Each structure stands twice: as structure tokens, then as C-alpha cells.
Amino acid sequence: MPAIRQARDRLLAAAVELESRHGVAGTTVAELLKVSGVARRSLYMHFANGRDDVVTEATAVAGQAFLSDLRSAASALCPARALDAIVERVRVRLVETDFDSSCPVLAAGLGGQTVPGARVSAGQTFLAARQQLAGDLEGNGVPAAQAASIAGLILASVEGAQAIGVATRSTDFLDDVRTQLSALLLTSTQTTATNRTPE
Amino acid sequence: MPAIRQARDRLLAAAVELESRHGVAGTTVAELLKVSGVARRSLYMHFANGRDDVVTEATAVAGQAFLSDLRSAASALCPARALDAIVERVRVRLVETDFDSSCPVLAAGLGGQTVPGARVSAGQTFLAARQQLAGDLEGNGVPAAQAASIAGLILASVEGAQAIGVATRSTDFLDDVRTQLSALLLTSTQTTATNRTPE
DNA sequence: GTCGAAGTAGACTAGTTCGTCTACTATGGG
DNA sequence: CCCATAGTAGACGAACTAGTCTACTTCGAC
């Protein structure tokens, strides 16, 4: 009863969840309070600027989680298998939420005109992810020039397929992306015989 | 042409524009009236169910325009050049709107929980576009099984790159997509003979 | 002319949204 | 024991939301 667990964390978790499902605009204070079970006043204790602060910080949190997932997949597996793992995670999430949930970072980027901080944070996440992914590809023998644009393609197509999956209520596009990118990664990384080491 | 029966069309155009920029949630009645310059009453004359009808129909209109653009590009050019033309159009639009505008159909698909009709319409557009694109690729010598998934990859990555472009305020991801997909299309269509491998 | 379709202008209700406010409660460290 | 800390509960107002309504204008066809 005496809510020992941080109201702040519950608010951020709720915000990430709501952004995924209903976008930034659908992440209202009322919903935030309902989902997190936190009192109205507590929100303004932890986030001086109210809703915008929650959304912005939640976007940063989701972005860090995204980068972390990417890193752990890349460090444990070869690029083609890492991609598989990431796509599979997205696929499961789509299906389990009955195609109602897409990427919170993408949602923050799109809905970010109303919450500029969230848009900036989302952009930074995508740029960091691209760089990280490109580095991993280079480590697997992909030429630097190619690595960057392949990384961009991977991120764009996975995010796009996820969003289109919500619209079509299917995983078709995600499956397409996996099929084609797997093939691309296999041919691109063929040059290296051995697997590489994480940092 | 004085008592021009233009109000309806102006409303739909405004809705497409607003969906692109601010998403479905940002497409409010007040904005719709301001942008279109139409009287409040006129909206409810033409769209019995109000805002939802406008958004839904605007999504269908934008979807048809999207398919039409795709068709005209594909019929006039080879796949690789058609892709170039489409990406270039998206790129120009991003830059000209100062990275504030993404695809109205994607926005409708994401914000569509609040307006179910728009989501359905967006989904149908993507499925139709995939089929159309796949058919075009097949016509250019890409095996049927490959054509469908390449079409899915193209749509997903262009849509994703557009959305990420808004978040990052750059065309980097779009350029990545163009670079990689151009290469993919060139090898897929020109080596129409038997060099395709796995799945 | 007159009549009606399409349009404009704007008041009005009812519901939501966000943020501020007061008042109360549990917990644990000094 | 005391009380600061972090929490709950909920009233409140200003600003916005969508949709309904009345009253007036402007055009083209008959």
C-alpha cells in the first residue's frame, strides 16, 4: 500500500507503453495516471513540466532500451542472426498486442511536433543506432561505405514494416524485410570467414 | 464557378496535409476549418459523421494518389529508376516542409486506433501497393516469390526512412535506402537469369 | 423574378485536457 | 518520538475538443 516502488519509474513505463500504442498525442495525463496507478500530484513532483517531460524522458528511456537490445543482439550473434532476433522480437510484440503497438521511438519522432524534446531524442536514438549497427557490420567485414547505408536500410525497413504491420494488422511486411535483409547480410558478410569479437 | 462546390475537396486536401504534418490526432476540426477556409457547417454537410469521416476519406484519397504515383513511375521507368523517382519525391517533400511532413497513409495507419476507418484504408493501400509493385517487378524478370518480398522491403524501407527523416531532420536514411535498394534492384532485374539463391 | 443548393459566420453545449491546488497518509532515519 | 519524504485522493479552472444549431449570403436553373 505505501507505494514503495518509485512512482517515477511506473510513469515512465506507462508512457513508453502508451506511446507505442496510441502515439504521443494519445499519451494523455489521464491515461498516464490510470496505467501507472500514480497520483496526479506525484507526476508533477517528478516531472516539473508535466506531460511533456514525461513523454520526452520516456522517449529517451525507450531509445536507450532499443540501443541496448541492438547491442546485445549484435555482440552475441552474426549480423544475419542478430537481425533475425530483432525482427522476431518486433514480430512477437506486434502479434501479442493484436497489432496495436509499434515502436515508441518512431511514434515520438512522428508525434514530436507537439513535444519537441521527444522528437530530438528519437532522432538521436536513430542516428546512434545507425552508427552502432554500421560499426558492427564493419567488424564483420562489410566495407565502411556500404556498412553505413546497409545499417540505414535495416533500421528504416524494420521501423517501416512495424508501422505498416499495425496498419495492415499483419506481419507480412516484416517477414518480407527479414527475408530480403537476411539474404543481403549473408552476401555482404561472406568475405569474413570468422565471426568477430565484441568490444 | 461562384457557388463552387469546392468545400468538400478543400476539406479533403486540408486533411491530407494535416495528417502528414501532425498525424491523425493533430487533424482537429478547428485546424481543418482554418486550413481549408471552409465554414464549420459545411463540414457536417459533406461529412455526416464529422471529423472521422473526413479523416477516413482523406486517407483513402491519399492512398489512391500514392498508388497512382507508384503506377505512373513504374509504367514509365525500369524498377531501379522508378524507385529513384519515388524516393526523390519523398526527399523533396521532406526538405521543402523542413522535415515536418511524412506520409499521410502511414500516419493514418498509426493514429488509426482513434479512427478505425482510416487505419483500414491505410492497410488496404499498403497491401495494394505491395501487390502492384510485385507485379511490376515480376514483369521485369524477378521471380514471383522474390518479387513479393522485395516489394514489401521497398515499401517498408521508404516509409520507415521517411518517418525517421522527420525524427532526425535529415535525409540520411532515405539516401541509405535509395543506395541499397538501387543496387538490389539492379542485380535482381538485370541478372534475371538463374543466379538467385536462398530463402 | 423565385427557389433551392451550397456556402459563410458564429453562438452554444458538453465533454476532455492539462496543470494547480489543498488535504491526508505511510515509512524510515536521526 | 518526530518529521521529512514520497506518496495518495480528488476538487478546480482555463483552454481546448467535436458536434448541433440558427441566421444570412450567393449563385445558377427554371
Which nucleotide across the nucleic acid strands is nearest to A27, CA versus C1'?
C17
When the pLDDT of each residue in chain B is averaged and rounded to a whole number, the result is 92
Cell of A131: 552508427
**Cα A142 to Cα A133: distance, rounded to the nearest angstrom:** 11
Q: Is residue A33 part of a domain?
A: no
Cell of A9: 519509474
DSSP H helices in B23-115? 29-36, 40-46, 51-76, 79-96, 104-110
A169 DSSP 8-state letter: T
Q: Is residue B181 part of a domain?
A: yes
pLDDT of residue B55 exceeding 90: yes
Query: What is the per-residue burial (b if ≥16 Cβ within 10 Å, else e) of B122-161?
Result: bbbbbbebbeebbebbbebebeeebbbbbbbbbbbbbbbb
Give CA torsion, residues A47, A51, A56, A57, to 10 deg. 40
**Cα B3 to Cα A168: distance, rounded to the nearest angstrom:** 40
Q: Using CB atoms, pick whichever of B21, B106, B176 lies closest to residue A156.
A: B176
Q: Is residue B176 part of a domain?
A: yes
**Residue of chain B nearest A22, judged by CA positions:** B111
For the full predicted model, state whether its pTM sits above 0.75.
yes
Backbone CA torsion sign across B88, B77, B148, A168:
positive
Which nucleotide across the nucleic acid strands is nearest to B42, CA versus C1'?
C7
Q: Is residue B182 part of a domain?
A: yes
Question: Which chain B residues contact residue A27 at CB under 8 A?
Answer: none
Question: Which chain B residues contact residue A150 at CB under 8 A?
Answer: 176, 180
CA of B45 to C1' of D30 (A): 25
Report, in ranges, which bases of strand C sit under 7 Å from a protein C-beta.
4-11, 16-23, 25-28
Residue B20's pLDDT band (cuts 50, 70, 90): very high
Whether nucleic acid strand D comes within 7 Å of the CB of A76, the answer is no
**Cα B25 to Cα B63: distance, rounded to the nearest angstrom:** 18
Q: Is residue B36 part of a domain?
A: no
Amino acid at A153: L
Q: What region does A138 belong to: left with phi over 0, alpha with psi -120 to 50, or beta?
A: alpha
Q: Using CB atoms, pick whichever of A102, A164, A169 lies closest to residue B156.
A: A164
Q: Is residue B148 part of a domain?
A: yes
Query: Higher model confidence: residue B1 or residue A126?
Result: A126
Q: CATH number for the domain including A135? A: 1.10.357.10
CA distances from A189 to A22, B148, B150, B197 (A): 38, 24, 20, 16
Cell of B104: 499521410
Cβ within 8 Å, pair A150-B176: yes
Whether nucleic acid strand D comes within 7 Å of the CB of B64, the answer is no
**Cα A158 to Cα A167: distance, rounded to the nearest angstrom:** 14
CA of B119 to C1' of D17 (A): 21
Radius of gyration of the CA atoms of chain A, in A: 18
Q: Is residue B152 part of a domain?
A: yes
Best probe of the A interface among B59, B103, B173, B195, by most A CBs < 10 A, is B173
* Residue whose grid cell is 526527399: B91
The tens place of each residue's pLDDT in chain A, 199 residues long, gives 333 458 899 999 999 999 999 999 999 999 999 999 999 999 999 999 999 999 999 999 999 999 999 999 999 889 999 999 999 999 999 999 999 999 999 999 998 789 999 999 999 999 999 999 999 999 999 999 899 999 999 999 999 999 999 999 999 999 999 999 999 999 988 654 444 444 4
pLDDT of residue B1 exceeding 70: no
Q: Work out the average pLDDT over B153-175.
A: 98
Per the structure, how many domains does chain B have?
1
CA of B29 to C1' of D17 (A): 8
Cβ within 8 Å, pair A172-B130: yes
DSSP H helices in A140-195? 144-168, 172-188
Question: Which chain B residues contact residue A174 at CB under 8 A?
Answer: 156
Query: What pLDDT does residue A5 have?
Result: 58
Cell of A189: 558478410
Query: What pLDDT does residue B5 have?
Result: 53
Residues 6+ away with beta carbon under 8 Å from B27: B15, B18, B19, B51, B54, B55
Query: What pLDDT does residue B113 have?
Result: 84
Query: What pLDDT does residue B196 have?
Result: 42
Q: Is residue B11 part of a domain?
A: no
Q: Give residue B185's domain range.
A: 58-195
Query: What pLDDT does residue B4 have?
Result: 45
pLDDT in tens, B140-150: 999 998 999 99
pLDDT in tens, B72-131: 999 989 999 999 999 999 999 999 999 999 999 999 999 878 999 999 999 999 999 999
Query: What is the number of other CB atoms lying within 10 angstroms of the CB of residue B118?
Result: 34
CA of A120 to C1' of C23 (A): 39
